[in-house]
Structure 1
Amino acid sequence: MTGSPDPGARPMMARDRASAALGMVVQRDDPGHAVVSMVIREDMLNGFDVTHGGMVFALADTAFAIACNEDERVTLAAGADITFLRATTLGQTLTATALTRSRSGRSGIYDVQVSDGEHVVAEFRGRSLTTNRAVPDR
């Protein structure tokens, strides 16, 4: 997915206009494991010329969403926390890797590590809730 939804992507990501607008690229999409990257643009910087924390959160949240939507039922975030460890800036590529930590019934816990290729820049923990809603068709 690069700037516009990929027609070959699963329906959730094919319709994800926010992730597309941020230029996110899905590199891995497996049940319980996702990898998503994004190049930091000038319009993603805050007033100190470092990446706005919301952009880092959005990247981690997208990887989390892919990892936790493992079957035909819609799974949504019940909550999430992020810890920022290092600042990043213009031109850097950030990569978010999401993994399942635990699933029980309709609840799940997922860890997402965001790196700049050399360093871990953020750690994200997402809590999911699987609904009774079926994933809509394209």
Structure 2
Amino acid sequence: MKKKIDEFQIYEKHYEQIYKQVKNDPYAQSLGIQLTKFEAGFAEAMLEVQSHMVNAYGTVHGAVIYALADHAFSVACNAYGKTSLGLSTTIQFIESAKPGDKIVARATEIKRNYRTGFYRIDIYHKQNLIATMEAVSYRKDHYFIELEELV
């Protein structure tokens, strides 16, 4: 009989290794996204909107908001060391932001099982909710960290 894996224990035991992996995202880094909080099933990331990140109307481009939300989602769903991929997302844009504004995405795990994870990502400028995203992850069998005791 296979032993059930306690993924929270994996998160605690391998925190540094997992954190190093999820933080090392070249695309997020190229945008200036900073990972500000990392917990089991939760992530917060921040971005200061630059002048080249706006649309024709002078407000932050939706793709930039999405990239910030997607990074927070990626970090939250990979927090247990198990390779997880985005399966689907739905985003609603509520308000805009401008160059110089600091926007923050907070990804919260709603439910997770063996194969899927469900997340809500809220994006804020100060206390104003500017976008919200629902996301589903697909959880592969593979752990991206070394887990000798599970083999």
Task: With the length of structure 1 as denominator, give the TM-score of the two structures.
Answer: 0.88
Deviation at 1:134, TM superposition (A): 2.8
Aligned-partner Cα distance in 1 for 2:80–2:19: 15
Aligned to 1:17: 26
Return 5+ residue gaps in structure 2 as ranges: 1-17, 147-151
Return 5+ residue gaps in structure 1 as ranges: 1-7
Q: What are the superposed Cα offsets for residues 6-36 of structure 1, whole Å, 9 maximum, x if unpaired?
A: xx9521322x110001101111011101110
Aligned-partner Cα distance in 1 for 2:114–2:74: 17
Give the structure with the larger helix fraction: 2
Give the conservation status (yes or no) of the 8 Å contact 2:19–2:38: no
Aligned to 2:91: 82
Deviation at 1:118, TM superposition (A): 2.6
Aligned to 1:110: 119
Aligned-partner Cα distance in 1 for 2:137–2:28: 19
Q: Look up the SS of the partner of 1:10 in the other structure.
A: helix
Task: With the length of structure 2 as denominator, give the TM-score of the two structures.
Answer: 0.81
Aligned-partner Cα distance in 2 for 1:41–1:105: 39
Runs of 4 or more above 4 Å deviation: none
Deviation at 1:87, TM superposition (A): 1.0
Paired residues in the alignment total 129
Could you tell me which of 40, 44, 57 is aligned with 2:66? Answer: 57
Q: Look up the SS of the partner of 1:37 in the other structure.
A: strand
CA-based RMSD of the aligned residues comes to 1.5
Aligned to 1:36: 45
**Paired letter, 2:104:** T
Aligned-partner Cα distance in 2 for 1:45–1:125: 23
Identity level (%)? 23
